[in-house]
């Protein structure tokens, strides 16, 4: 059993080369006082690391323009960041016409770079609903960045509905036992995102990011905020997280790890 596990780990390493990550940040903080400083931190970090901020004025775009958001959206975009608008779909039960109207308002009011589709079903019975939303966004903006959030494992067919699928959104205690679907390992890492909260400190954050890389994930966000509202602040270790995400492990480090695992596996095989 041990030699089988070592072989599986070695195979995963050789098939999943090290890759840079990007940050997918649920920026659900109003841009005044502390919220303004959080948006400024996103803008300051954007030249150094890929950042996509999810804009959410009122569980959607709201009914009218809020100029406080206009300013921070424009600043982040000018710094090289991406801003996408939050809509929710009630797992396919919400009226598609209502969702489309909110998508229209995001583009009209804030000039967003795409859409974040929350409460996405992972049931293939709803695939047509999400495909139609995908096609609608593409009709408005041919390069619009579409992120779908089932928040857990999902059917491979859902790749057709979004550029990125969030396949984990839960606390750190659950992340330790989470295993990605096997089919995700054959796709480009940029197609997947993990959002992990209640991660207490920078060391634990580093462990989460390493685990995300190992599971072939290209977008992450890790925070020490708690379940009451995990997306209303930036983490206390924001600077350390941006540095960790931007860094790509040296190929030599991966080669050394692979060689070490291979040696352990050989020793285990000799014992049987």
Ordered by start, the domain boundaries in the chain are 24-251
Q: Is 20 exposed, middle or buried (0-12, 13-18, 19+ CB in 10 A)?
A: middle
Query: Residue 242 in contact with residue 45, Cβ under 8 Å?
Result: yes
Query: Residue 214 in contact with residue 16, Cβ under 8 Å?
Result: yes
Coil, strand or helix at 196: strand
> How does pLDDT run along the chain (272 residues), one tens digit per residue?
334 333 434 444 444 456 789 999 999 999 999 999 999 999 999 999 999 999 999 999 999 999 999 999 999 999 999 999 999 999 999 999 999 999 999 999 999 999 999 999 999 999 999 999 999 999 999 999 999 999 999 999 999 999 999 999 999 999 999 999 999 999 999 999 999 999 999 999 999 999 999 999 999 999 999 999 999 999 999 999 999 999 876 554 444 444 443 443 444 344 44
Give Cα separations from 255 to 52, 148, 248, 249 (angstroms): 31, 34, 14, 11
Smallest CA-to-CA distance from 175 within 201, 208, 204, 153 is with: 208
**Two tokens, residue 14:** 């050789």
User: Is the entire prediction scored with pTM above 0.85?
Assistant: yes
CA angle 17, 23, 25 (to 5 degrees): 150
Q: Which CATH number fits domain 24-251: 3.20.20.80, 3.40.30.10, 3.30.930.10, 3.90.1170.50?
A: 3.20.20.80
């Amino acid at each position: 059993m041990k030699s089988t596990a070592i072989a599986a780990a070695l195979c995963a390493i050789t098939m999943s080369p090290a890759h840079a990550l990007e940050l997918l940040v649920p920026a659900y903080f109003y841009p005044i006082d502390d919220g303004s400083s959080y948006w400024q931190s996103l803008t300051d970090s954007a030249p150094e690391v890929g950042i996509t901020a999810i804009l959410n004025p009122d569980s959607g775009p709201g009914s009218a323009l809020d100029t406080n958001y206009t300013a921070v959206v424009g600043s982040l975009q000018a710094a090289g960041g991406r801003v996408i608008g939050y809509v929710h779909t009630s797992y396919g039960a919400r009226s598609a016409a209502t969702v489309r109207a909110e998508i229209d308002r995001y583009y009209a009011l804030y000039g967003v770079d795409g859409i974040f589709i929350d409460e996405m079903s992972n049931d293939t019975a709803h695939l047509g609903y999400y495909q139609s939303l995908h096609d609608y966004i593409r009709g408005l903006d041919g390069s619009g960045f579409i992120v779908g959030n089932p928040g857990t494992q999902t059917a491979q067919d859902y790749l057709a509905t979004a550029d990125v699928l969030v396949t984990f959104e839960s606390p750190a205690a659950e992340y330790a036992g989470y295993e990605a679907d096997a089919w995700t390992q054959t796709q480009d890492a940029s197609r997947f995102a993990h959002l992990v909260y209640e991660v207490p400190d920078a060391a634990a954050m580093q462990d989460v990011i390493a685990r995300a890389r190992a599971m072939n994930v290209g977008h992450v966000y890790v925070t020490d905020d708690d379940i009451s509202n995990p997306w209303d602040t930036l983490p206390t270790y924001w600077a350390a997280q941006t540095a960790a995400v931007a860094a790509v492990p040296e190929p030599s480090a991966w080669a050394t790890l692979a060689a070490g695992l291979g040696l352990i596996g050989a020793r285990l095989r000799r014992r049987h």
